[in-house]
Structure 1
Amino acid sequence: MDFDYSPKTKELQARLQKFMDEHIYPSEAAYHAEITANTAAGKRWTPLQTIENLKPKAQAAGLWNLFLPVDSAEASGYHGAGLTNQEYAPLAEIMGRVLWSSEVFNCSAPDTGNMETIARYGSEENKARWLKPLLEGKIRSAFAMTEPDVASSDATNIATRIERQGDEYVINGRKWWISGAGDPRCAIYITMGKTDPEAPRHSQQSMVLVPADTKGITVVRPLNVFGYDDAPHGHMEILFENVRVPVSNILLGEGRGFEIAQGRLGPGRIHHCMRLIGLAERALELMCKRASSRIAFGKPVAAQTVTQERIAEARCKIDMARLLTLKAAWMMDMGGNKFAKNEIAMIKVVAPSMACEVIDWAMQVHGGGGMCDDFPLAYSYTAARTLRFADGPDEVHRNAIAKLELGKYAVNPKPVEMPITRGC
């Protein structure tokens, strides 16, 4: 394994870092000021012009749709940067340093996973209707999987019904934590539910494309995360009542929802983990600067042994998480998601926990400042802590890792699938 970045990646890294320095970091104050102004005006669920004004600049700089992998580009007929998972990973890390910056480059969740899903599994008609405007940044999307009435950490529990009636599917169910559904530009939901409750356990679920303006859809409420509502993106609870869509809106075919989820979640976990590594890197940077500038008990906070220990530990943990994530990305490129299933599960445990710990230490060094939005740490912590649930709780991934490890020593080992799970 060679973890030196490719010349293509190095060149994109330099351009992306330059863009962050020139446009993203200087816009952070304007971003927060706009949110405050929108709140005061009662317009929380309004697209932020701070982000919208930067999108044309990112496109002009050739930093648009960087996530779109080679196979999805070929399948869709549209082209991003054509990077492998390993090549894209360090770019996700750079974007992850500022929580909202990925949207500027049209590389934010859940749109990236949804675009890849439609590119790989959608019909030509659906690609033209939904994928093209998503790649152009004209609309946004959501992924409707998690439900409040069942433990969605086991995705076979998902109870939303998708029943065929003639040339239509009729959808009934309740979803929550549907990220992105609060954005008024959210035009399409990829929705998972049961088409055949009597089928084998992993063949009951299907995925369909549901336009957000379809009759019978009610956005019940926005859910907040540690006091943040994440407007205008939002994490919504949604009710589907006799929602009808054409049969042609099904992805890949009935009973193939888990197959699609396997293809969708692997790259998404790489993206999430690398963004978390970027978030942790920035927290460490802020921690070092703050510790060097603050005097307590007659000497800089940086001179305190406990601070030095935490800085050293943070450096070690960030680098370990990065190397493990890059290994997972490389293995996915070499052999696909199943080949890398153990490493994908491991990074999903390691990266969020590492980020939570590093950000927590940085908050501690910042004292009272670490608790408020004068610094990005409190909001960063909520994002990192949330990702110990999103794409599956730690416990589910640990179980999968343990089963794979135990299987090495079993007389008749049983296959272990990568968990399809959303948490909550």
Structure 2
Amino acid sequence: MTLFDTSPRTTDLRARLAAFMDEYIYPNEAEFHRQVNEGNRWEHVQLIEDLKPRAREQGLWNLFLPPASDPNGKFGPGLTNLEYAPLCEVMGRVWWAPEVFNCNAPDTGNMEVLARYGTPEQQEQWLIPLLNGEIRSAFSMTEPEVASSDATNIQASIARDGDEYVINARKWWTSGAGDPRCAVSIFMGKTDPQAERHLQQSMILVPMNAPGVTIERMLTVFGYDDAPHGHAEMTFENVRVPAGSILLGEGRGFEIAQGRLGPGRIHHCMRLIGQAERALELMIERAASRVAFGKPLAAHQHVREAIAHSRMEIDQARLLTLQAAHMMDTVGNKAARGQIAAIKVVAPNVALRVIDRAIQVFGGAGVSQDTPLANMYAQARTLRLADGPDIVHTETVAKEELRRQGVDLGRR
């Protein structure tokens, strides 16, 4: 058995997922866009709601929680990160598909946080409805007025006042906030600005309907608004929540963030690999069917080179991501931080190159709404920023390698 052989249950789930995608997702891509674009764009999409019961009946639901987040198998099938990764790739081939299986960001990361760090009361109030697909959630971390590549810059205030916390902040790129079913946001801010640098921050649960929570505007990504999911700029003005809303305790924000972002980055990277695979398939279909200068595009050397480089790069990115997933399962997120950082740089850049080649082979159609390529490109480019920009992750990889080679960085 090789290191990355899939387990029997992953093989079975992957086959069932692929069949579900073939039967219900790919044939409905045009219908999804039709439903989003008619009427109020910020209402739920009925197509997705109709498909969720089918996915749940087939056991394709809440696949994402690893044993570390759900040690007793209370909330899901208990797949490891390595077992889940191939499934995430399949779902990622269509950007809206993960929600059908209740495996979409930011809900997956938020559910992992609640499963791993939440109190029984917090789990009852928020986790169970999320696991049942009854509500959606958001994650409020980034701020427009500071360089968010350094999360210690966060200026959001979480101040204790008796039995409550008072929250004041301006946040943006709060993904998921546009959905009318978004009921709660996990919010990161400072509880003690005088504490040690990485102990100033805390995470707290904020109901979206709390007085003082305002969505100021929805942001676009290269012109896409990603409705009805969306990414919001929000203000929190003297928002009061019960003291029991704090997660894990004051000063534990960075600890929670590392627990949340590690699996989330694996998920992002595998979804990107799924998109790159689909882009390659589309590229080959186009190259085989279109004729230029008297022969099929596939007969032109530069097109074949594009196909070959795409195949090699995708396989490299997948193996690197599976290695990171394996390390997370066997030695933990902290020990795997260098590998997690590496895939967060590699996967979006590989996906961008492959999608770009596919666009080039399609010509004008590649940048139109007639193919999914333009939207895929916008998403892949955004993920070079989301969950930390490339430069932050390359710094992590370099520091881990220097330490491995015995170089003492001290406080530099």
TM-score range, shorter chain: over 0.9
Unaligned runs of 5+ in 1: 417-424
Q: CA deviation at 1:301?
A: 0.8
* 1:180-195 → structure 2 map (5 Å cutoff): 180-195=176-191
Output the amino acid matched with 1:188.
V
CA-to-aligned-CA distance 1:288-328 (integer Å, 9 cap, x gap): 00011000111111111111101000000000000000000
**C-alpha distance in 2, partners of 1:292/1:412?**
54
Q: One-letter code of the match for 2:27? A: P
Matched, 1:268 2:269: no
Specify which of 54, 67, 72 is matched with residue 69 of structure 2.
72
| 2:57 alignment counterpart | 60
| Partner AA of 1:240 in structure 2 | F
Equivalent residue, structure 2, for 1:342: 338
Q: Deviations over 1:353-398 (max 9, x none)?
A: 0001100000110111001111100001111010000000001101
Letter in 1 for 2:121: E
1:7 equivalenced with 2:8 (yes/no): yes
Question: In 1, are the aligned partners of 2:225 and 2:231 still within 8 Å (CA)?
Answer: yes
SS at match of 1:128: helix
User: What CA distance in whole angstroms lies between the structure 1 residues aligned with 2:385 and 2:228?
Assistant: 21
- 1:312-357 deviation per Cα after TM superposition (whole angstroms, max 9, x unaligned): 0000000000000000000000011011111000000000000011
Hey, what does 1:375 align to over in structure 2?
371
Q: Does 1:48 align with 2:53?
A: no
Cα displacement (A) at 1:29: 1.4
Q: Which amino acid aligns with 1:67?
A: F
Distance of 1:170 and 1:412 partners within structure 2: 42
Specify the SS of the correspondent of 1:54: helix
**Counterpart contact for 2:107–2:136, Cα < 8 Å:** yes
8 Å CA contact 1:407, 1:414 repeated in 2: no
1:203 aligns with 2:199: yes
CA distance in 2, matches of 1:162, 1:413: 34
Query: Counterparts in 2 of 1:64-143, with a 5 A limit?
Result: 64-74=61-71, 78-143=74-139
User: What is the aligned partner in structure 2 of residue 25 from structure 1?
Assistant: 26
Indicate conservation of the 8 Å contact 2:75/2:131, yes or no. Answer: no
Instruction: Please give the secondary structure, in 2, of the residue aligned with 1:266.
Output: helix
- In 2, Cα distance between the equivalents of 1:288 and 1:217? 48
Cα distance in 2 for residues equivalent to 1:404 and 1:414: 13
State the Cα distance separating 1:223 from its structure 2 match. 0.3
One-letter identity of the residue aligned with 1:338: K
Return the alpha-carbon distance in structure 1 between the equivalents of residues 408 and 393 of structure 2: 22
Partner of 1:317 in structure 2? 313
Alignment TM-score, normalising by the size of structure 2? 0.98
C-alpha distance after superposition, 1:80-120 (max 9, x if no partner): 12100000000000000111000000000000000010111
Alignment correspondent of 2:239: 243
Distance 2:193 2:411 in 1: 24
SS at match of 2:318: helix
2:144: which partner in 1? 148
Aligned to 1:420: none
Give yes or no for contact 2:216–2:232 (8 Å, CA) kept in 1.
yes
Deviation at residue 415 of structure 1 after TM alignment: 9.3
1:302 to 293, 298, 301: 298
Match for 2:32: what amino acid?
A: Y
Q: Secondary structure, in 3 states, of the residue corresponding to 2:75?
A: coil
CA distance in 2, matches of 1:360, 1:81: 37
Structure 2 letter corresponding to 1:50: L
Count residues in correspondence: 411
2:276 paired with 1:280? yes
- Cα distance per residue 1:156-188 (max 9 Å; x no partner): 000000000000000001000000000000000
Structure 1 residues 411 and 11, CA gap change in structure 2 (3 angstroms): closer
2:341–2:394 Cα contact (<8 Å) kept = yes
Letter in 2 for 1:63: L
For residues 80 and 103 of structure 1, the distance between their equivalents in structure 2, rounded to whole angstroms, comes to 16
Alignment pair present for 1:352 and 2:348: yes
Contact residue 352 and residue 385 of structure 1 kept, 8 A: yes
2:383 is equivalent to residue 387 of structure 1: yes
Q: Distance in 1 between matches of 2:290 and 2:126?
A: 51
Q: What letter matches 2:302 in structure 1?
A: V
- Alpha-carbon distance in structure 1 between the residues aligned to 2:302 and 2:261: 38
Inter-partner Cα distance in structure 2 for 1:288 and 1:247: 56
Q: Secondary structure in 1 aligned to 2:137? A: strand
Displacement of 1:414: 4.8
Residues 324 and 339 of structure 2 are in contact (CA less than 8 Å); yes or no, is this contact kept in structure 1?
Answer: yes
Cα distance in structure 2, aligned partners of 1:372 and 1:267:
33
Secondary structure, in 3 states, of the residue corresponding to 1:177?
strand
Helix, strand or coil at the partner of 1:220: strand
Given the superposition, is the C-alpha separation of residues 127 and 342 from structure 1 closer, same or farther in structure 2, using an over 3 Å criterion? Answer: same
Alignment partner, residue 255 of structure 1:
251
Root-mean-square deviation (Å)? 1.2
TM-score (norm 1): 0.95
Amino acid at match of 2:109: G
